[in-house]
Chains A and B, each alone.
Chain A
Amino acid sequence: MSGGVDSSVAAGLLIEQGHEVVGATLKLWGGASDSGCCSVADVDDARRVAQILGIDHHVFNYTEEFERSVVTPFVEGHAGATSPNPCIECNRHIKFDLLFQRAERLGFDAVATGHHAQVLEREGHHYLVRGEDNQKDQSYVLGYLQEPILRRLLLPIGAMNKDEVRQHAERLQLRTWDKPDSQDVCFIEASKGRSIFLGQRISLTPATIVDQVTGEELGETAAAELMTVGQRRGVLPGRDGEKRYVARVDLQARRVEVGRLKDVLSTKLKLDVNSLSFARDALANQTRVLAQWSAHGRPMEATLSFDTTWSLELDAPARPVAPGQTVVFYREDEPSIVEGAAIVTS
């Protein structure tokens, strides 16, 4: 329970369904925070919701594990010019691993969350499916979940849109919990941002921004680690007036290359084989999938292919995907069903 409306309603609905429910909030980040899911204020909100619902509430401390499995890889990733998704890592290593293990030890049959996603049971197998509300669908950040977890996972609001969730919140008299959805990385203070957070932990690399088209220097950046491949925001147009996109970040050479859209478009995403995960059965070489590489990105038609390594061949060229990002595969014939996930290497 984060204190937000989704997990609050999820808990309320489970109680109404007759489940014996205990609320848990994870204390994940030990440092300063002004957003996300682990500030003291959010814990207080979650506790208050549990009180209103009349259930026990516990706070579990995973700050050490969070630092080790989420924050450190995030910082190290940036130091190596990759952009890992901390929410996905947190789901994978903390919420849907350590918390599930703990729940089992403590004698619970299932763990429920307020994610906008669904579990489909078909012929004894469990599949992760997109949430009913397209705008809110969170199946992307749960892309690594596999059968043993899905079997014990309840997602009570996955079949609802946000309006319905809010209606339930009102009915359950949780209407004061109309907090805005958290959008940011929970351990980075919005007022300070990524650069200050990273700057306190690694030395950031100043770099020259070079236009691939003309070879001219377009300017400087104070922190090449914060330039993400594919990014346009903050990149000045070239001399020809056309927009430029980050094409390549070379920390050693202290150089960020930018190019026109047509120059940077790519049709192939190389995948980290160690990260490749399938919801159930491994997908065969040349399987057709729909690939999505951001939380609310448009799924793109692609073919999962194995040459000397795994990669994703896109039907249509797309803006490059930053190394470290996760791509989630959905079924081509049933586009709401998650089939697996992997991290993009280049």
Chain B
Amino acid sequence: MSEILYFDHAASAPRRPEVAEAMAPWQTGIVGNPSGSHKAARLARTAVEESRDAVAEFIGAKPGDVIFTAGGTESCHLAVVGVTHAHRKTHEQTNILISPVEHHAVIAAAEQIADHFADVELRFVDVDADGVVEIDSLWKNVDFNTALVSVMTANNETGVCQPLDAVSAVAKGGVPGGAVTHTDAVAAAPWLDLSVVTSTIDLISICGHKLGGPVNVGALISRGPVALNAVVPGGEQERGKRGGTVDVAAVVGLAAAVRATAADRIETYERVTDFQTRLSNALSLLPGVMVTARGASLLPGHVHVTVDGLASDEMLFMLDQSGVCASAASSCSSGAAVASHVLAAMDVPAVRAKGAIRFTMGAETTAHEVTELIRIFSGVVHQLRGDA
């Protein structure tokens, strides 16, 4: 592919070469089933456990508390549904509290189980205009039936970070015995040290491909024992929490991705933060363009804007014609841009939400690409406004 300006890292980050290299030996020839007992199985099992060690270190958890899954969506699903089922065994009423800006992986899982069982109630905590959860609202919504509080580490559309320590304080302090906390750290994982920012959270979801690793692999990591039922039971893989043969190549790829991410995190963070400042400043000068949640604590890779009176579809089309890959932050299965539930929760007016564009950067982004993006997007806005 030539002439691509890739500003969609949050959708899927470029595959890191060290990931492909690490996976290669597990992609051809004999790959033992890690649950077996012979030599090939032992080799595979060793690779899986080394990968588990790497993921545990990345999160600051114990290797035995890492459950490999087939991605971020499954990790979130296992957290929400697994905790709910475990709670239902010992309680007559089970309440789940989540934020309205969660990824659909969390929202849809919670809605599905609340629809299915009359004794499960789903509650949404209020967020402010930046999409940050309001702690007062958390306090109001927890009670002694609260099983789970799930708030993402940072939002995948806007990049806005959440006050997880405060969330934990309410979940533990406001519920007798303490509610289980879960955070979807998929979007934050490339940027934040999860061993620090999620240190008070019980369950953490991550996935491979936002880190330059393979798609279809992720992990749900717990900090110590958490009552969690398997959602897909089967063989006793992953300590009975997730049935199915572990994909050796995939978890090796995930491990390579987390190691590489951790190794260059600080350097990348600083460099991309400069790009973010430059991009936000430049785009905010364009007519009708407003940078979303500028005052909030943001992941450095995100620059989310709304453009008054213009349609995301049209801007994306023109960006694409110029080789810029970006997104409207939210798209349905058909590929059409759809109204964002995140912006709706933030009370962004519809006329602005229709013109939402998300640019996301990563370790590979260069200063030249940022300059080019500013030039191209300025042209797009002016042309669509009819003053080109």
Contacts and interface: CB of A to CB of B under 8 A. Distances in A.
B337 A61 contact: yes
Interface in A83-127: 102, 105-107
A105 B384 contact: yes
Contacts of A105: 314, 383-384, 386
Q: Specify the main secondary structure of chain A where it touches its partner.
A: mixed
A293 to B, nearest CB: 34
Contact of B335 (A59, A63, A106): A59
B338 interface: yes
A58 to B, nearest CB: 6
Given A56-B320, A58-B320, A102 B314 contact: yes
With most chain A CB atoms within 10 A of its CB, the pick from B320, B336, B337, B383 is B336
A27 B338 CA distance: 10
With most chain B CB atoms within 10 A of its CB, the pick from A25, A56, A58 is A58
Contacts of B320: 56, 58
Nearest to B354: A64
A106 B388 CA distance: 12
Nearest to B350: A64
Contact of B313 (A44, A60, A107): A60
B144 interface: no
Contact of B334 (A43, A56, A102, A107): A43
Contact of B338 (A40, A61, A102, A107): A61
With most chain A CB atoms within 10 A of its CB, the pick from B314, B318, B335 is B335
A134 to B, nearest CB: 34
A275 B168 CA distance: 62
Interface residues of A, number: 16
Interface in A44-63: 44, 47, 56, 58-61, 63
Interface in A117-156: none
A106 B332 CA distance: 23
B384 A58 contact: no
Interface residues of B, number: 18
Contacts of A43: 334-336
Given A61-B313, A102-B314, A105-B314, A47 B384 contact: no
A27 B332 contact: yes
A47 B314 contact: no
Nearest to A25: B334
B234 to A, nearest CB: 30
B117 interface: no
Interface string A55-87: 010111101000000000000000000000000
Contacts of A47: 335
A59 B314 CA distance: 10
Given A60-B313, A61-B313, A106 B334 contact: no
Contacts of A25: 334
B318 A27 contact: no
B152 to A, nearest CB: 25
A260 to B, nearest CB: 49
A324 to B, nearest CB: 30
A252 B339 CA distance: 39
Given A56-B320, A106-B314, A106-B318, A61 B384 contact: no
B314 A27 contact: no
B313 A58 contact: yes
A267 to B, nearest CB: 47
B316 to A, nearest CB: 8
Interface in A237-285: none
Interface in B301-347: 311, 313-314, 316-318, 320-321, 332-338
A152 B311 CA distance: 22
B314 A61 contact: no
Contacts of A60: 313, 336
Contact of B336 (A56, A61, A102): A61
B381 to A, nearest CB: 12
Contacts of A102: 311, 313-314
B327 to A, nearest CB: 13
Contacts of B321: 56
B255 to A, nearest CB: 34
A60 B335 CA distance: 8
Contacts of B313: 58, 60-61, 102
A258 B384 CA distance: 55
B337 to A, nearest CB: 5
A107 to B, nearest CB: 8
23 contacts: A27-B336, A40-B332, A40-B333, A43-B334, A43-B336, A44-B334, A56-B320, A56-B321, A58-B313, A58-B316, A58-B317, A59-B336, A60-B313, A60-B336, A61-B336, A61-B337, A63-B336, A63-B338, A102-B313, A102-B314, A105-B314, A105-B384, A106-B317
Given A27-B334, A61-B336, A61-B338, 11 more contacts: A25-B334, A40-B332, A56-B321, A59-B334, A59-B335, A61-B337, A63-B336, A105-B314, A105-B383, A105-B386, A106-B314
Interface of B: 311, 313-314, 316-318, 320-321, 332-338, 383-384, 386
